[in-house]
Amino acid sequence: MEPIIIARDLVKHYKMGDTIVEALRGVSLEVKRGEFLVIMGASGSGKSTLMHILGCLDHPTKGNLFIDGEDISRASSSRLAELRNRKIGFVFQQFNLLSRTTAESNVELPLLYSGVSLSDRRRRASESLDQVGLAHRKKHYPTQLSGGEQQRVAIARALITDPPIIMADEPTGNLDSISGAEVLSILQDLNSRGITVVMVTHEREVAEHGDRIIHIRDGLIRAEENVEHKRDAKESVELLKKQRKEKEESVVAGHETD
């Protein structure tokens, strides 16, 4: 499969006072079209910096980046914004939803900048919410939704422009085990439909839901591995729900015998 993302010798420096922080120190990688790639590393390893550059949210200090064959290493801010809007959907650990806006309106937001009519925005928002199983909650506000539901709204928002790439930065970090597995199940399902997924995590169990894992430390790729026994998130959801039900039944039975 041909690569949809190619990075060559990416370097990223930040200046903090008189100190230069080397977040990336020469990273090269390729992401194949339709792949589920996981970038794994501890806090401060450079994994989120790498994702921000791959996702056109930031420029590298040095190096080259190609998205779908286009060299965007020195692209203007307006060009990067256009690429993000057309080709990349983002899902973050913090859901980044507008609290006073319904799920439907939150999902519509990326289309506001494209001149899409209200009727088309509403139709596409409903379709996106339906893909994550939340069409029936479209009129609810974020405060009326669970953490897992809020993250699914964020995924629906990422999908509304039909991007070929989804970037997910610690998407399960703020969720309980069942909600996290449900989000991973959605990402796996999207990937099975041909969407390229690039996910950042520091958890091995989460990483094993992808096809390939890149290990990054101190701004460098230290190892790479193909996942031999890929976890099935749907199976994880069912198992976790079964375990929760058994635990609840056990607690009830314990109270009845007291």
Token pair for 240? 């976790």
Residue 257: per-residue pLDDT: 64
Query: Would you say 73 and 59 are in contact if contact means Cβ atoms under 8 Å apart?
Result: yes
Specify which residues 226 forms β-bridges with: 212
pLDDT at 16: 83
Backbone φ, ψ for residue 213 (5° rounding)? -120, 130
pLDDT on residue 244: 86
Instruction: Specify which residues 19 forms β-bridges with.
Output: 16
Question: What would the two tokens of residue 187 be?
Answer: 């990402």
Closest CA to 47 of 209, 257, 199: 199
- The rounded distance, in Å, linking the Cα atoms of 138 and 102 is 7
Question: What's the pLDDT at 63?
Answer: 96
Q: By the 8 A CB rule, do 146 and 111 touch?
A: no
Q: What is the pLDDT along the chain (258 residues), one digit of tens a residue?
A: 789 999 999 999 988 888 898 999 999 999 999 999 999 999 889 999 999 999 999 989 999 999 999 999 888 989 998 888 889 999 998 999 999 999 999 999 999 877 889 999 999 999 999 999 999 999 999 999 999 999 999 999 999 999 999 999 999 998 999 999 999 999 999 999 999 999 999 999 999 999 999 999 999 999 999 999 999 999 999 999 888 888 888 877 776 666
Q: What is the pLDDT of residue 253?
A: 72
